[in-house]
């Protein structure tokens, strides 16, 4: 969840500042972009060089660096951040956040930020228990900030009790879970199908189609970014799935049917983007069919209509999304599929639109909902089309 997140780490004056080095390392290892703001008191406990080396970014300590002439724009830093974590936060800085005192770069960035802010207090037992500190904690929580509670343990004073900053591993886990829980599809199980199916003629040849799987993979990735637990059932394709997906590889329509019917009962949302073959050879040769002077006649039989099968057993809480790739009378066919197969949304592609359909990196879609309301979109990248489809899903998933 922290991959590619822009994170500002504030480090205040506390012996626990040494843990900030480990925290930076873990955040960077998780794929985050980290910028550190070190308060003047914090610099007494850990050097800017250590944090700059680990974060691979300059460390900010004041508004204006006289030696270099560089001005640290607190507004830009606040807007850059996807989240701010102040760890450790001292009783002094905690009081500043509670009262709006803005006398250093960190507090100025805090007041400028529009992102979630997390604080991990570190102080001696009596300081933590003091009524003023507890009032300040309640106040910053009331502002919408999140406190990562200190742990019990041995303190720098020699006392034993509450006030020890949470361990870096615990902080990273806390942030990861907080991001997940804030996502609109957190806790939802979603199944997505993508790519073609190959229907064997003999051990060498098959009947297939031109689907690359790009659209389905883009949708699966976007749904995962929204916090869903995504199972991607993919036909033969060269596309790579994101790490947050569970991928199930299949080849034939029968294998895709078996995989879908296994996953579907536990799915809250299903997006059937795969281009499943409508027909397969009735008999599959066990040996390669040799070229003959005469023609070759293949007898075909229908494959199971997976979308219709799922629509027939769909529960009221489940959302089922289908695709319609058409070449003529597109809208009528799409609306017919929506009604006959018990869909909640149908996504219409037309091969008459240049740049849409199989293999391309772009697509042009029209979405129909259960009320047959139509939303038409311009030609876009398949990544942006996936976002439009997910937005339509979110509207009916609330």
Q: Are strands 380-381 and 362-363 parallel, antiparallel or unpaired?
A: antiparallel
Q: Is residue 1 part of a domain?
A: no
Q: Are residues 167 and 284 in the same domain?
A: no
pLDDT at 26: 96
CA distance 167 to 169: 5
Domain boundaries, position 236: 189-397
Q: Is residue 155 part of a domain?
A: yes
pLDDT digits 0-9 by tens, 313-333:
999 999 999 998 766 777 888
Q: Are 275 and 196 in contact (CB under 8 A)?
A: yes
Q: Are residues 159 and 200 in the same domain?
A: no
Q: Are strands 64-65 and 70-71 parallel, antiparallel or unpaired?
A: antiparallel
Alpha-helical runs (H) found in the chain: 18-29, 48-55, 74-80, 91-99, 105-112, 125-129, 131-142, 168-182, 214-225, 253-263, 306-313, 330-340, 382-397
Q: Is the pLDDT of residue 70 over 70?
A: no
C-alpha dihedral sign at 140, 142, 144, 147: positive
Q: Is the pLDDT of residue 6 over 90?
A: yes
Q: For 254, list phi and psi in degrees, rounded to 5.
A: -65, -40
Q: Is residue 390 part of a domain?
A: yes
Count up the domains in the chain and report the number: 2
Helix (H, G, I), strand (E, B) or coil at 202: coil
CATH at residue 128: 3.40.50.1950
Q: Are residues 165 and 224 in the same domain?
A: no
Residues noted as catalytic: 209
Q: For 325, list phi and psi in degrees, rounded to 5.
A: -100, 110
pLDDT digits 0-9 by tens, 219-236:
999 999 899 999 999 999
CA distance 278 to 256: 13
Q: Are residues 344 and 291 in the same domain?
A: yes
Q: What is the pTM of this model?
A: 0.78
Q: Are residues 327 and 178 in the same domain?
A: no
pLDDT digits 0-9 by tens, 139-157:
999 999 999 999 877 767 6
């Amino acid at each position: 969840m922290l991959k590619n997140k822009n994170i500002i780490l504030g480090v205040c004056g506390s012996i626990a500042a040494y843990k900030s080095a480990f925290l930076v390392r873990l955040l960077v290892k998780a794929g985050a972009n980290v910028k550190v703001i070190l308060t003047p008191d914090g610099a007494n406990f850990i050097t800017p060089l250590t944090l700059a080396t680990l974060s691979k970014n300059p460390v900010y300590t004041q508004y204006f660096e006289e030696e270099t002439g560089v001005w640290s724009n607190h507004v830009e830093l606040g807007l850059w951040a996807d989240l701010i974590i102040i760890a450790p936060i001292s009783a002094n800085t905690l009081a500043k956040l509670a009262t709006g005192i803005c006398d250093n770069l960190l507090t100025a960035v805090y007041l400028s930020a529009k992102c979630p802010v997390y604080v991990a207090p570190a102080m001696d037992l009596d300081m933590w228990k003091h009524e003023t500190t507890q009032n300040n904690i309640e106040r910053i929580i009331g502002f919408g900030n999140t406190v990562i509670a200190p742990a019990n343990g041995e303190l720098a004073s020699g006392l034993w009790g509450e006030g020890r900053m949470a361990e870096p591993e615990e902080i990273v886990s806390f942030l990861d879970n907080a991001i997940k829980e804030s996502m609109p599809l957190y806790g939802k199980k979603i199944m997505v199908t993508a790519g073609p199916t190959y229907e064997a003629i003999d051990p060498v040849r098959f009947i297939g189609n031109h689907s690359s799987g790009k659209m389905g993979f883009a949708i699966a990735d976007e749904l995962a970014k929204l916090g869903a637990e995504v199972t991607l059932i993919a036909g033969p394709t060269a596309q790579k799935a994101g790490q947050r997906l569970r991928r199930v590889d299949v080849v034939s329509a029968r294998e895709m049917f078996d995989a879908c019917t296994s996953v579907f009962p536990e799915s809250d949302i299903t997006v059937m983007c795969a281009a499943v073959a409508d027909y397969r050879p009735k008999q599959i040769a066990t040996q390669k069919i040799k070229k003959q002077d005469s023609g070759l006649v293949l007898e075909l039989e229908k494959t199971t209509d997976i979308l219709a099968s799922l629509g027939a057993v769909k529960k009221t809480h489940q959302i089922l999304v289908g695709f319609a790739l058409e070449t003529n009378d597109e809208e009528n066919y799409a609306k017919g599929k929506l009604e006959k197969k018990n869909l909640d949304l149908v996504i219409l592609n037309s091969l008459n639109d240049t740049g849409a359909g199989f293999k391309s990196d772009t697509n042009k879609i029209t979405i129909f909902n259960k009320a047959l309301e139509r939303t038409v979109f311009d030609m876009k990248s398949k990544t942006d089309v996936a976002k439009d489809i997910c937005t339509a899903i979110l509207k009916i998933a609330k």
